[in-house]
Amino acid sequence: MVAITSITLSAATLISLTTAIPAQPVRSTGVIHRVFAGSTTANNGLHFEPENVVAEPGDLMEFHFLPKAHTFVQSSFDKPCEPLGGDNAIFSGFNFNTTAGEAPNVFTFMVPDKNPIWYYCSQPNGNHCQKGMSGVINQNFNSNKTLAKYKDNAVNTVTKQPSTDPLASQVGMILPNVPL
C-alpha cells in the first residue's frame, strides 16, 4: 500500500522559504589591486597609492605598508576618520610597522560588491587621516561624494580607532608579502 500525502503551501510560506536561501558568496575574480600605504614622495609619506581604485566584486585588495605604522580602516563618506563599525567593517590593525621598505606582511580582503568603500589611516601620531591619508574603492563618479570632498571633510575631525586592541583586524587577512 502506498500512502500519498498532499502538501499545500501558502504564498507567505513560499516567500519565507525563498528568502531563507542564502545569497551566493562572491567568488574571486583572480584580479589583485595592490595599494601602497605610505609614500616616499607624496604628501610627506601620508598617502595611499593609488588612492582611488575601481574594482569588481570578487577582486582582491592587497595593501602594502611602508614606514610610519599605517593602517587601513573602513569608514563612511559622512564620517571621515571614524571607523564604520559592525561585523562587516574592514580594518587591518597596526600589524605592519616597518622602519624601512615594505612590511613583511600585507592586508588583503575581497571586494564584496560595487558600493563605495571609504577608508583612512588611523595613525594618530601625525594626524594621518586629517592630512589626507585616505582613499576609496568604487567611488560613484556620478555623485558629489568625491575623494577630494572626503579629504576636505576630514581636516577638522578627530581620528577614531576601530578597536581598543591596536593589533585587532577584521574581515581581511594578514598574509606574507610576496614580491612580484
SS3 letters for the chain?
A: CCCCCCCCCCHHHHHHHHHHCCCCCCCCCCCEEEEEECCCCHHHHCCEECCEECCCCCCEEEEEECCCCCCCEEEECCECCCCCCCCCCCECCCCCCCCCCCCCEEEEEECCCCCCEEEECCCCCCCCCCCCCEEEECCCCCCCCCHHHHHHHHCCCCCCCCCCCCCCCECCEEEECCCC
7: in domain: no
Q: For the residues 105-126, what does the mean pLDDT come to?
A: 97
17: in domain: no
What's the domain count of the chain? 1
Q: Provide the 10 A C-beta neighbour count for residue 71.
A: 27
How much is the pLDDT for 43? 75
How much is the pLDDT for 39? 75
pLDDT tens column, 67-94: 989 999 999 999 999 999 999 999 999 9
Q: Which H/E stretch holds residue 19?
A: helix 11-20
Give residue 61's pLDDT band: very low, low, confident or very high (50, 70, 90): very high
Percent of the chain with pLDDT over 90: 76
13: in domain: no
Residue 101 confidence (pLDDT) above 60: yes
Pairing of strands 105-110, 173-176: antiparallel
3: in domain: no
Mean pLDDT of the chain: 88
9: in domain: no
How much is the pLDDT for 15? 38
15: in domain: no
Residue 1 confidence (pLDDT) above 90: no
Separation in Å, CA 155 to CA 38, 45, 152, 173: 18, 17, 6, 30
77: in domain: yes
11: in domain: no
Cell of 173: 587577512
How much is the pLDDT for 6? 38
Contact 100, 116 (CB under 8 A): no
Q: For the residues 8-28, what does the mean pLDDT come to?
A: 51
Cell of 145: 561624494
Instruction: Give the domain range for residue 85.
Output: 28-176
Where residue 113 sits, what CATH number does that domain have? Answer: 2.60.40.420
How much is the pLDDT for 180? 74
Residue 130 confidence (pLDDT) above 90: yes
Q: For the residues 8-25, what does the mean pLDDT come to?
A: 45
